[in-house]
Amino acid sequence: MSTDDESRLCIVGAGLAAAGMADALSDEPVSVTALEKSRGVGGRAATRRRDGCRYDHGANYIKDSDERTRELLTSLGADGLVDIDAPVWPFDGEGTISESQRPESHKWTWEVGITQLAKRLFGRTDADIRKETRVDELEEGQSGWTISDTDGATHGPFDAVVLTPPAPQTADLLRATELVDGDGDLAAATDAVDQVPYRTIRSLMLHYPFEIDRPYYALVNDDRDHDIGWLARESCKPGHIPDGEELLVVQMAPDWSTANYDKPVDDAASEVAAKAARLLDDDRLTEPNWVDDQGWRYALPDAGVDSEAVEPLEAHGLYVAGDWVVGEPRAHEALWCGVDVGKRLAATV
């Protein structure tokens, strides 16, 4: 990176990988700019609001599966942090629900939603987050990297760039990248990123003006043989749903999601509500009083990228980060991948 007083880093995307990276570099002489195509931060770890409800429609919570995740959550402050204490139970392709035999781990979110994770991480940095900025070209020059967006604006120059979108979108950006030299490295990296397999998920959020009493927070299909992959009761999260109401977050299985990705929301919601009603054995659930939906065409990576193929790009100051880099479709894996890349960048300052 630059030998000037402050190095210049651009992160494409403002999800958890980017937030972790910015946080890891917050005490380093690095100026961080994040270019985010949407209106918010957090990526799939996002929260929506409607009619007095808050709901996490992508990543549902953060697992503190290791000590450093616990320490990080503690460092962000305990105000509004909640642990979902009800368990997750499995069900099979026939819709048979079983009590979980696994020991329960902590499942963390916030009263105002999971997006607080990215917001709090970015909030303790000086990162410049430029929202509604969709990157379409990257060019390496003698003075650093210049980035163009779809509105015709340019950003930079930067000493280094980190690409954090899902692998297929990162591959598209690599195809639209110009290096001073090393085109063979770029082609090999693009091919490797392009080969990361993904599952498509369409989520339907179903709201009801009555409570649903169950001994579990969520159900997960453990044999991947049901049209519903995950069903969660948002009322189990303090501060999310008003008393006397319920909101189900129903994440459909990849096959169903792919086949019905573009189905009109009312038609999709009617079908999903019927499936949820059968699974929970409650005919009232066929008629939610309002619905919302979100499609994640590139939701969950099923493998990681070939690290040897993308590593040569780092000599050009071009890096990749995200859950697809490590091949683990978990929010905390994206976060820690970003932190690890940030630490590598810090060592080059």
Class of domain 7-43+119-196+302-346: alpha beta
3-state DSSP helix/strand/coil % of the chain, to nearest 5: 30, 30, 40
Backbone angles phi, psi at 341, to 5 degrees: -65, -40
Q: Tell me the average pLDDT across 20-46.
A: 96
Domain locations in the chain? 7-43+119-196+302-346, 61-113+198-301
DSSP string across 138-203: EEEETTEEEEEETTS-EEEEESEEEE-S-HHHHHHHHHTEE-SS-HHHHHHHHHHHHT--EEEEEE
Structurally, at CATH architecture level, domain 61-113+198-301 sits in: Alpha-Beta Complex (3.90)
Q: Tell me the average pLDDT across 289-304.
A: 96
- Close Cβ partners of 209 (under 8 Å, ≥ 6 residues apart): 244, 245, 289
Backbone angles phi, psi at 186, to 5 degrees: -65, -40
Distances (CA, A) of 334 to 42, 127, 327: 11, 18, 9
Backbone angles phi, psi at 189, to 5 degrees: -65, -40
Residue 3 has what pLDDT? Answer: 47
Q: Is this structure's pTM higher than 0.75?
A: yes
pLDDT in tens, 236-254: 999 999 999 999 999 999 9
Task: Please say whether the beta carbons of 333 and 323 come within 8 A.
Answer: yes
SS3 call for 81? strand
Closest CA to 18 of 157, 139, 129: 129
Residue 65 has pLDDT above 90, yes or no: no
If you average pLDDT over every residue of the chain, what do you get? Answer: 95
Same fold, 7-43+119-196+302-346 and 61-113+198-301: no
Residue 4 has what pLDDT? Answer: 54
Q: What percent of the chain has pLDDT over 70?
A: 99
pLDDT in tens, 197-212: 999 999 999 999 999 9
